[in-house]
Every structure is written in structure tokens, then in C-alpha cells.
Amino acid sequence: MANVIQHRYDFIILFDVTNGNPNGDPDAGNMPRIDPETGLGLVTDVCLKRKIRNYIEAACEDKDGYQIYIKDSVPLQTSDQKAIAYLGVDDLKDIKKKDPDADRKIRDFMCQNFFDIRTFGAVMTTFVKGALNCGQVRGPVQLGFARSIDPIVPQEVTITRTAITTVKDAERKSTEMGRKYIVPYGLYQVEGYISANLARKVTGFSEEDLQLLWNAIGNMFELDHSAARGNMAVRELIVFEHDSELGNAPAYKLFERVHVSLKDGVQVPRSYSDYQVIVDTEALPAGVTCEQKI
């Protein structure tokens, strides 16, 4: 595969929210996700990957090789059919009989055409149902859950509106009540990993894909502003690059070099300026460099 990444990367993203709900929990009335034991806020990896996908879709406009597999209002089967048409067959059950190498061809086709499969991987259930061994692709880029640096205190805000839903309701009331949850302020940290080994062996994630990913991470909230999410922004993107495919040091030891803490005298954080971020780049392990891209 031409231009596939050759180095492993480990990275940390710091992002914050002001007066918004960064990731509502549908099992808790859409309240911001929270760790009940520590009070720290949570944002799922799925939520963050959605923002990245949305940015790529807007930036590339379905450019060849940069389609998005997991997207609104498009059934997965519709996208899967493109690979089936590429092989020129009608029945999934007949594919293996006609072409013993169909598994690899379908996987490669989907990776080449869909950026998010090439990046994050995917579970393609259409192919699994057809007994094809290509339906689960493990992507080279993985994100963990984001966790806030300090405990958050979600607030329930009652709101009113003058536009009544029905004519009958308008006969007996002039306003309707609603509510929304916000986090007054929260700074979140999430760790990410990029495997050059999986890129080479499986998806073909390239240097061009990598640069686009960094750009998407830095801008993932810029096209996602809404009243519900308040003001969200990526504040830091700290990247550790290894000079080898398999890496030169454990990721956790590199992540421990990033220290985020409240400045002296700050009791309740209400802005990014209330924090200090220190990255220890002294005596990095041999073969590892660090770059603060944001």
C-alpha cells in the first residue's frame, strides 16, 4: 500500500465545554454523563468519532476515498451494496463460490472508499450475515472515553416558550415549560492511539489520512455548535510520535508526562485560563518525539 503510515502515534486531546451538555445520557433523561463514584464528567468515544466523521464529510464532500460509512439516514446495507456491485455478484451466498478471495477484496474496497472504516474500523453486518470473513475490520485509530479533569456539577435549567404546541393547549395556557441540562464548565481529557501495524496489515490508513485526522480533531466542534452543546472547543492536541511501527515506549508512560491542574487560588474552574497544562518533554524515551499541534 502506497504512503501508509510507518510510525505509531499516541495522543491526548483536551477539550472544554461552557454552559452546554457535551454528551447526554439517554438512560438518565439526557443528563450529562457522569462517573457516580468520582463526579467526573464522561464523554464517549462514539460521541467524539461522530464529530470527526461529520467534519470529514463536510470537508471532503464525498470525495473519492473519503465517503463516510456511519452517517445519518443511510442504512449500512446501502453502503455495503457498493462492494457487492464492485464484485459483480447478486447473491452474498454465491460470492465465495465464485471467488475464494472475495473476503479480502470486499474488505479492501470498503477501506479504500470509506474514510471512517480506514480510520476507526467497522462492523459490517451485511457481510457477516453472508458468512463472509470481512465484516469486522479493526481500525488503526482508537479513542478512549473522555473524562473531565475535575468533578462537574450538572445544572438543570427550566425554560419557557411562548409558542404553544396545539390549538387546544393554547386555549388554556400562554406558555409551555421545558428543561435542559448544562455543565457550567468542564475541561475533558481523552487519550488516543494510532497503530501503524494495523494500518499496514488491514486498512491502508495513509499519511494524507493522518493529516486530515489531525485537522478534523482540531475542528471537530467548529461545525457542531448548537444551543444544547454550548461553547465547546479543542484546547490541546498533544502528539507523541514513535520512530517505529510498533512503538518505542508504553503509551501510559508518555501520557503521564502531561500534567493538567488548576492554577493556584482557583477553587471552581470556569474557563480554560483557570488551568495550567505542562508537558514534560525532557528525556523522552529514545525514538519518541512530542509535538503540541494545538
Written as one string, the DSSP assignment of the chain is -TTB--S-EEEEEEEEEEEE-SSEEGGGTTEEPB-TTT-EEEE-HHHHHHHHHHHHHHHHTT-TT-B-SS-TT--HHHHHHHHHHHHT-S-HHHHHHH-TTHHHHHHHHHHHHBHHHHHHEEE-HHHHHTT-TTSEEE-SEEE--EEEEEE---EEEEEEES--SSHHHHTT-S-EEEEEEEEEEEEEEEEEEE-HHHIIIII--BHHHHHHHHHHHHHTTTT--BTTTBEEEEEEEEEEEESSSS-SS-HHHHHTTEEEEEPTT-SS--SGGGEEEEE--TTPPTTEEEEE--
pLDDT on residue 129? 65
The larger pLDDT score, comparing residue 168 to residue 51, is at 51
pLDDT on residue 2? 64
What mean pLDDT comes out for the span 202-231? 93
Most confident of the following: 78-82, 91-95, 120-124, 240-244: 240-244
pTM assigned to the model: 0.90
What pLDDT, in 10s, does the model give residues 58-116?
A: 999 878 899 999 988 887 778 877 877 877 776 677 776 777 777 888 888 999 999 99
The larger pLDDT score, comparing residue 208 to residue 168, is at 208
pLDDT on residue 190? 98
What mean pLDDT comes out for the span 284-293? 95
**Is the predicted pLDDT of residue 1 greater than 60, yes or no?**
no
What pLDDT, in 10s, does the model give residues 96-106?
A: 677 777 788 88
What whole-number percentage of the chain has pLDDT above 70?
A: 95
**Is the predicted pLDDT of residue 237 greater than 70, yes or no?**
yes
What pLDDT, in 10s, does the model give residues 147-192?
A: 999 999 999 888 787 777 778 877 788 777 778 899 999 999 999 9
pLDDT on residue 224? 87
* Mean confidence (pLDDT) of the chain: 90
pLDDT on residue 168? 81
Poorest-confidence range of 16-30, 69-83, 259-273?
A: 69-83
**Is the predicted pLDDT of residue 258 greater than 70, yes or no?**
yes
Distance of CA 189 to the CA centre of its chain: 13
pLDDT on residue 131? 66
pLDDT on residue 282? 93
As a whole number of angstroms, the distance between CA 17 and CA 3 comes to: 37
110 phi and psi angles, rounded to 5 deg = -65, -40
pLDDT on residue 169? 74
| pLDDT range class, residue 259, cuts 50, 70, 90 | very high
What mean pLDDT comes out for the span 207-213? 96
What mean pLDDT comes out for the span 211-225? 94
55 phi and psi angles, rounded to 5 deg = -70, -45
